[in-house]
Amino acid sequence: MSADTGWPAGTARQVLITTDSTMAEAARQAARLPGPTWICALEQTAARGRRGRAWAMPPGNFAASLVLRPDGPPGQAALRSFVAALALRDACVAATGRPGAFTLKWPNDVLLNGGKLAGILLESMGQGGRVDHLIIGIGVNLAAAPDPATLEPGAVPPVSLAGETGVTVTPEAFLDLLAPAYDARERQFTTLGFAPIRTAWLAHAARLGDTVTARTARDETTGIFRDVDMEGHLVLETPKGPTRIAAADIFF
């Protein structure tokens, strides 16, 4: 299986047999990379997700990090989590032909039939309020889902692409779908701004209009999921009025 649009011009590609984590490998290489680069690994020995959590990676699953040199302030760079989520959904639809099966969970997960299929992690490098490099890490349960017992209570149960759809895709073939999908969404973002990305993301948002709980290390807020604003914040309707949340874990 390969992408219809082909590999994006000007973007480099590395496929490693094994590494500690593609995020760590990307950070080590970032300063000397001449342009956008995908670093994919068939095995990770120390993968991690958001908030430093361990990320389980059974054999055959997808792990890759994209290194970019973005223009603009850190807040704009952070909006690429939505760009990546849309591109990841595009790639999943291209792999399966099932657009109705995939939804997006704020801030950076892709769901398949309501279960967690994939996660996205952003890390930036820079100084003086400037982002020199942005690393977008993506993990997808292509072949197998991790043990639900490893998750915190209330988390969305994990699923795999093969288990839910019967479609088998190798990590290399999935990268051939994801890279052009991301390139297209990145061009849309840099040309037209966040507005069309936000509109497209909301069109596929999981539990929009439903009651959800946003939980941080300090507190939690429960309300009706109404919107995502132009800064990428979650907007919940609560008894105290609209509440905007910059970062949290969402529980349904």
CATH of the domain at 17: 3.30.930.10
Q: Are residues 54 and 152 in the same domain?
A: yes
Domain residues for the domain of 245 are: 211-251
Predicted local distance difference test score (pLDDT) of residue 2 = 37
Number of domains in the chain: 2
Strands 220-228 and 211-215: antiparallel
* Cβ 19 vs Cβ 40: under 8 Å: no
Does 125 share its domain with 175?
yes
| Final residue belonging to a domain, choices 185, 203, 221 | 203
Question: How much is the pTM?
Answer: 0.92
> What ranges make up the beta strands (E) of 81-219?
102-105, 109-112, 115-125, 133-140, 211-215
Residues 80 and 37 in one domain: yes
Residues 161 and 243 in one domain: no
Backbone φ/ψ region at 10: left (φ over 0), alpha (ψ -120 to 50), beta: left
Residues 122 and 138 in one domain: yes
Pairing of strands 102-105, 62-68: unpaired
Domain assignment of residue 56, yes or no: yes
Does a structural domain hold residue 160? yes
How many CB atoms within 10 Å of residue 71?
10
Specify whether 112 is located in the same domain as 236.
Answer: no
Q: Could you tell me if residue 139 is inside a domain?
A: yes
Residues 6+ apart with CB under 8 A from 151: 157, 158
Instruction: Say if 2 falls within a structural domain.
Output: no
**Residue 82 placed within a domain:** yes
Give the rounded distance of the alpha carbon of 16 from its chain centre: 20
Q: CA-based diameter of the chain, in Å?
A: 52
Query: Is 54 in the same domain as 154?
Result: yes
Give pLDDT, residue 127: 74
In a domain, 142, yes or no: yes
Query: Are 148 and 240 in the same domain?
Result: no
| Shared domain check, 244 and 182 | no
pLDDT in tens, the chain (252 residues): 334 459 999 999 999 999 999 999 999 999 999 999 999 999 988 876 555 556 667 889 999 999 999 887 888 899 999 999 999 999 999 999 999 999 999 989 999 999 999 999 999 988 767 888 999 999 999 999 988 776 676 788 999 999 999 999 999 999 999 999 999 999 999 999 999 999 999 999 999 999 999 998 889 999 999 999 999 999 999 999 999 999 999 998
- 118 with 227, same domain: the answer is no
**CB distance 207 to 225 below 8 Å:** yes
Same domain, 37 and 146: yes
106 domain residue, yes or no = yes
242 C-beta neighbours (distance < 10 Å), count = 13
Does residue 125 share a domain with residue 65? yes
Give the domain-ending residue among 184, 203, 222: 203
Beta strands in 79-163 (DSSP E): 102-105, 109-112, 115-125, 133-140
Instruction: Determine if the peptide bond prior to 107 is cis (ω within 30°).
Output: yes
